[in-house]
C-alpha cells in the first residue's frame, strides 16, 4: 500500500472523472496497473472510458483523425537534404486540424507510431520529454500506438516518452515476459454523446528480430503474434465494454513481415472492426476488405476516387450500415511524414430500442501538400528547427574526387537527384550497378570498425552522391546512411554467405536479350539490396536464376547469379568461416531469421562502442580526416557481367545501331523508364529499357524531370 493523490485514482476508475480532486487517498498499487511505465504492470495513464462529449442526441457522427510514420517531422523540412518538404510535418497537420476540429470538435486524434525517430530527432533523445511528443501534446492527440522505430533506443527512452504523452497509449500485443501482462493498454474506449467507440492498437511482432543486436531496447518485453493477440483483445473489449464502434490502429503493413499484416487481420476480423487505420508501410490507400471465406484469397478493393487515395468513392464502396457491417471492413493509411491527416467519419443512429446502429462510414486522406505551416506550432517549436538545421549544416571537411563516375549519380544522364521530381531521372543510381567509392566508403568504414573480411551495405537513398570540391556537412552522412542502424560482426559459413549474396541480388529482374538497362523485381525495397565489399572478388550474372525461399524461409532454389572468385586472397570455400560485417537490421530481420547465422556467431556489436551508429561512423571519419577522398575508397572488387567491357549491356549501348540509338534517346531524355505506380515508397523500375520492346519505355514529351515521374 502506498499513499498517492486522488488524481491517480481517477485515472484507474471507470469514467468517473467528474468531482475528482487532489485530496490524499490511499489506493492499492499492488494491482496489475500503474500510472507510469513499471516493470510487470500495465501502463494505465487514462480513464477506462474517456468522455469527449455528453450531449443527448439520437444521431451522432464520430470522427477519427490519424497520422502515422511522422519520423521526427515536426516541421516540413528534410534535414538530410537541407530542403523544404512541401507535404510533410506536424506544422502542416496543425493547420489541417484547425479546420477539421472546427467542423468536428469531438474528433478523436491518434498517431500510429514511428513518431520520435528520424530526421535529426535523435538530437533530442535526452530531453525529459521529446519535442515530437510535446508537439503531439500541444495538438491534443488523444492516443498513440508505438511503432517499431520507437524501440530503436534504450527501453528507458520509450518508457519516458509514453509516460509524458498526455493521451492514451495502446498496443494489444506488447507484453511483459515475466507475467504476460500488457506493457500498455490493449485498447482505449471513448464516449461521444453516449456512443462508445473503442480503438485497438497493435505493433509489429517482428520488433525483437529488427532489434536483435540490442535486446536492451525491448528489455523485459515480448511481442505476441498480431492476429491471435488482437482476437483476444477484442474479445476482452466486447466483454467489458460492448462498444458501438471498434477501430483498429495498426502499425502494420498490409502484408505480413514476420507475423500477420493488416490484410489478414482485416479479413479474419471484418465482422469485429468497422475501420482500420494503419501505418508502417509508408503507403497511401483507401480500401475495403471482405470477410474471409475458407479457401478463398483475401479480397481487397481500392475504394478511392480514381485510385487517388484521398477520398472514398461511394459509388464503389456503397453504404456501410447495420445490415452489412459484418461483411467487410474499410482500411486506410495516410502515408509518411505528415503527407495527410486520415479521417474516418462514422455515422450512428439510435433504433427504437435506444441502441446505436451503424448508418455509414466515410474515409478520406486530407493532404498537406502546400498547406501553410501553423504559425503557432512553428513558433512553439522553432528551437527544434534551428538546432536541427545547425547540426545538419555543420561542415566537417571537403570532398576530394567524384564518388560516382561522371559526377552525377544517374547512370544515363549523369545528373543528381532532382528535389522537385523526387527521384533520379532515367534509370538507376550508378552505385547500384557498379562498384563505386560511394559504397566503398560505407563498406570500408564497417570493415575498419569490425575487423571483418567482408562487409555488406545498402545504398538507401537515390539522392546520395559526393562530388569533388563540395563541403561535406553532417547532413551528407544522414543522406548517405539515413537509418540509425548499428554494426554487427558475425562468423558466417561460406555456404551461407553465398546464400546471403544470392538473396540480395534478387533485387534485380532477370536480364533479357535486348536489355539496355536493369530493372527491379516488383515490390523490391532498396534497403533490402546489399552490396559486398572488402577482401572478396565476385561477378554477378543477372541472366542467372535467382534464389527462392518458401514461406518458412527454407531455400527452394539456391540461385546461380553469384560467382565468388576469392576471399581474403584464397579461393572461395563454402565450408570455411568468414567474418562478415552487416547492419543490425539485416542481422535480425534476415540473416538470423533465415538461420544463416546464430547469436553465438556474433563476435562484434557496435552498440557497446562510443560511436555505435554506422551513420555516425561516417561522420566521425570525415571529422577526423577533415574530409573524404574518393581515391581512398576506390577499391573495385565486383562487376555485373552484363556491364563488363564485353558484357551484353555494354556492347548493345555501343553497337552503332538500334541499341546505341535507343540508349542515346535515354541519355537525351527523349524516353522514360517505366516506374512502378503501386509502390510509392520504393518506386522501382518495372522494366528494363529493351531494344526489342517498345512497351518497355515511354516517350517523354517535355524532356524535363517531371515528364518522367510517375506519381
Tell me, what's the pLDDT at 12? 38
223-232, 302-311, 565-574, 605-614: which range is least confident on average? 605-614
pLDDT above 60 for 64: yes
Q: Structure pTM?
A: 0.76
Domain boundaries, the chain: 58-384, 394-699
- Give the mean pLDDT of 618-626: 96
Q: Which of the two residues, 259 and 510, has the higher pLDDT score?
A: 510
Share of the chain above pLDDT 90, in %: 75
Using CA atoms, how far residue 61 sits from 28, 106, 331, 359, 382, in Å, is: 39, 9, 18, 9, 36
Tell me, what's the pLDDT at 419? 59
CATH code that applies to domain 394-699: 3.90.780.10
Tell me, what's the pLDDT at 236? 97
pLDDT above 50 for 164: yes
Tell me, what's the pLDDT at 681? 62
- Give the mean pLDDT of 121-133: 94
pLDDT class of 406 with cuts at 50, 70, 90: confident
Taking alpha carbons only, the member of 317, 311, 302, 247 closest to residue 278 is 247
Tell me, what's the pLDDT at 427? 66
Please say whether the beta carbons of 498 and 429 come within 8 A.
no
Q: What is the pLDDT of residues 171-184, one digit of tens each?
A: 999 999 999 999 99
pLDDT above 80 for 258: no
pLDDT above 70 for 496: yes
pLDDT class of 5 with cuts at 50, 70, 90: very low
Q: What is the pLDDT of residues 668-702, one digit of tens each?
A: 888 888 888 777 666 778 899 999 999 999 888 77
How many residues can be counted in the chain? 711
Tell me, what's the pLDDT at 413? 84
Task: Give the CA-trace dihedral at 587, 588, 589, 591, to 10 degrees.
Answer: 40
Tell me, what's the pLDDT at 412? 87
pLDDT class of 421 with cuts at 50, 70, 90: low
Q: What is the pLDDT of residues 375-399, one digit of tens each?
A: 999 999 999 999 999 999 999 999 9
Tell me, what's the pLDDT at 25? 30
pLDDT above 60 for 1: no
Instruction: Give the C-alpha separation, 336 to 333, whole Å.
Output: 9
Q: What is the pLDDT of residues 234-245, one digit of tens each?
A: 999 999 999 999
Tell me, what's the pLDDT at 15? 36
Taking alpha carbons only, the member of 406, 316, 358, 340 closest to residue 112 is 340
Q: Which CATH superfamily is domain 58-384 in?
A: Metallo-dependent phosphatases (3.60.21.10)
Tell me, what's the pLDDT at 706? 52
pLDDT class of 704 with cuts at 50, 70, 90: low
Q: What is the pLDDT of residues 18-58, one digit of tens each?
A: 334 333 333 334 578 999 999 999 999 999 999 999 999 99
pLDDT above 60 for 422: no
Helix (H, G, I), strand (E, B) or coil at 61: strand
Instruction: Give the C-alpha separation, 8 to 21, whole Å.
Output: 10
pLDDT above 90 for 17: no
pLDDT class of 9 with cuts at 50, 70, 90: very low
pLDDT above 50 for 279: yes
Using CA atoms, how far residue 684 sits from 256, 462, 523, 558, 673, in Å, is: 20, 11, 7, 25, 10
10-14, 190-194, 197-201, 525-529: which range is least confident on average? 10-14
Q: Beta-carbon neighbour count of residue 418 at 10 Å?
A: 16
pLDDT above 50 for 132: yes
- Give the mean pLDDT of 87-100: 96
Name residues whose C-beta falls within 8 Å of residue 550's C-beta, 6 or more positions apart in sequence: 556
pLDDT above 60 for 7: no
Instruction: Give the C-alpha separation, 581 to 451, whole Å.
Output: 8
Average confidence score pLDDT of the chain: 90
Residue with cell string 482476437: 231
Cell of 468: 569533388
Amino acid at each position: 500500500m502506498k499513499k498517492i493523490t486522488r488524481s491517480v485514482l481517477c485515472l484507474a476508475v471507470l469514467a468517473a472523472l467528474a468531482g475528482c480532486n487532489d485530496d490524499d487517498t490511499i489506493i492499492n498499487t499492488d494491482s496489475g496497473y500503474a500510472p507510469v511505465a513499471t516493470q510487470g504492470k500495465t501502463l494505465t495513464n487514462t480513464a477506462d472510458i474517456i468522455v469527449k462529449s455528453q450531449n443527448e442526441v439520437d444521431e451522432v457522427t464520430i470522427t477519427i483523425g490519424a497520422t502515422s510514420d511522422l519520423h521526427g517531422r515536426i516541421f516540413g523540412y528534410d534535414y538530410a537534404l537541407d530542403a523544404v518538404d512541401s507535404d510533410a510535418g506536424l506544422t502542416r497537420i496543425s493547420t489541417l486540424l484547425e479546420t477539421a476540429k472546427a467542423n468536428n470538435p469531438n474528433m478523436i486524434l491518434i498517431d500510429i507510431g514511428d513518431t520520435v525517430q528520424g530526421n535529426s530527432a535523435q538530437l533530442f533523445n535526452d530531453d525529459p520529454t521529446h519535442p515530437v511528443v510535446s508537439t503531439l501534446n500541444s495538438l491534443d492527440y488523444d492516443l498513440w500506438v508505438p511503432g517499431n522505430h520507437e524501440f530503436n533506443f534504450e527501453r528507458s527512452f520509450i518508457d519516458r516518452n509514453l509516460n509524458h504523452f498526455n493521451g492514451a497509449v495502446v498496443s494489444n500485443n506488447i507484453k511483459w515476459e515475466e507475467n504476460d501482462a500488457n506493457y500498455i493498454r490493449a485498447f482505449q474506449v471513448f464516449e461521444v454523446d453516449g456512443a462508445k467507440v473503442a480503438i485497438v492498437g497493435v505493433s509489429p511482432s517482428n520488433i525483437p528480430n529488427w532489434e536483435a543486436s540490442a535486446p536492451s531496447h525491448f528489455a523485459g518485453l515480448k511481442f505476441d503474434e498480431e492476429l491471435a493477440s488482437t482476437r483476444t483483445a477484442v474479445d476482452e473489449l466486447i466483454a467489458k465494454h460492448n462498444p458501438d464502434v471498434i477501430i483498429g490502429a495498426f502499425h502494420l503493413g498490409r502484408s505480413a513481415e514476420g507475423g500477420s499484416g493488416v490484410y489478414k487481420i482485416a479479413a479474419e476480423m471484418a465482422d469485429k472492426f468497422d475501420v482500420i487505420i494503419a501505418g508502417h508501410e509508408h503507403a497511401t490507400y483507401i480500401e475495403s476488405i471482405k470477410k474471409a471465406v475458407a479457401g478463398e484469397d483475401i479480397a481487397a478493393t481500392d475504394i478511392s476516387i480514381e485510385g487517388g487515395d484521398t477520398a472514398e468513392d461511394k459509388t464503389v464502396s456503397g453504404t456501410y450500415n447495420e445490415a452489412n457491417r459484418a461483411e467487410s471492413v474499410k482500411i486506410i493509411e495516410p502515408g509518411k511524414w505528415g503527407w495527410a491527416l486520415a479521417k474516418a467519419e462514422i455515422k450512428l443512429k439510435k433504433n427504437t430500442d435506444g441502441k446505436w446502429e451503424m448508418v455509414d462510414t466515410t474515409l478520406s486522406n486530407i493532404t498537406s501538400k502546400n498547406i501553410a505551416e501553423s504559425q503557432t506550432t512553428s513558433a512553439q517549436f522553432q528551437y527544434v528547427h534551428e538546432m536541427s538545421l545547425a547540426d545538419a549544416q555543420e561542415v566537417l571537411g571537403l570532398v576530394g574526387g567524384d564518388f560516382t563516375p561522371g559526377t552525377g549519380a544517374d547512370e544515363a544522364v549523369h545528373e543528381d537527384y532532382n528535389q522537385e521530381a523526387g527521384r533520379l531521372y532515367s534509370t538507376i543510381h550508378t552505385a547500384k550497378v557498379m562498384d563505386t567509392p560511394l559504397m566503398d566508403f560505407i563498406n570500408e568504414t564497417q570493415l575498419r570498425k569490425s575487423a571483418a573480411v567482408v562487409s555488406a551495405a545498402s545504398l538507401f537513398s537515390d539522392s546520395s552522391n559526393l562530388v569533388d570540391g563540395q563541403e561535406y556537412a553532417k547532413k551528407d552522412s544522414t543522406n548517405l546512411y539515413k537509418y540509425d542502424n548499428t554494426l554487427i560482426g558475425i562468423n558466417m559459413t561460406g555456404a551461407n554467405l553465398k546464400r546471403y549474396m544470392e538473396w540480395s541480388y534478387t533485387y534485380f529482374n532477370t536480364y533479357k536479350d535486348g536489355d539496355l538497362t536493369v530493372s527491379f523485381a516488383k515490390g523490391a525495397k532498396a534497403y533490402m539490396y546489399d552490396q559486398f565489399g572488402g577482401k572478396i572478388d565476385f561477378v554477378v550474372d543477372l541472366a542467372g536464376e535467382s534464389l527462392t525461399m518458401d514461406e518458412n524461409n527454407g531455400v527452394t532454389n539456391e540461385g546461380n547469379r553469384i560467382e565468388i572468385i576469392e576471399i581474403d586472397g584464397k579461393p572461395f570455400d563454402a565450408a570455411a568461416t568468414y567474418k562478415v560485417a552487416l547492419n543490425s537490421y539485416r542481422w535480425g530481420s534476415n540473416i538470423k531469421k533465415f538461420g544463416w547465422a546464430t547469436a553465438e556467431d556474433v563476435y562484434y556489436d557496435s552498440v557497446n562502442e562510443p560511436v555505435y551508429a554506422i551513420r555516425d561512423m561516417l561522420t566521425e571519419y570525415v571529422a577526423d580526416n577533415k574530409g573524404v577522398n574518393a581515391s581512398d575508397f576506390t577499391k573495385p572488387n565486383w562487376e555485373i557481367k552484363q556491364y563488363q567491357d564485353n558484357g551484353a549491356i555494354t556492347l548493345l549501348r555501343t553497337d552503332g545501331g538500334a541499341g546505341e540509338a535507343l540508349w542515346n534517346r535515354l541519355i537525351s531524355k527523349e524516353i522514360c523508364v517505366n516506374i512502378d505506380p503501386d509502390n510509392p515508397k520504393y518506386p522501382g523500375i518495372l522494366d528494363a529499357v529493351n531494344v526489342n520492346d517498345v512497351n518497355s519505355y515511354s516517350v517523354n514529351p517535355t524532356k524535363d524531370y517531371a515528364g518522367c515521374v510517375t506519381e
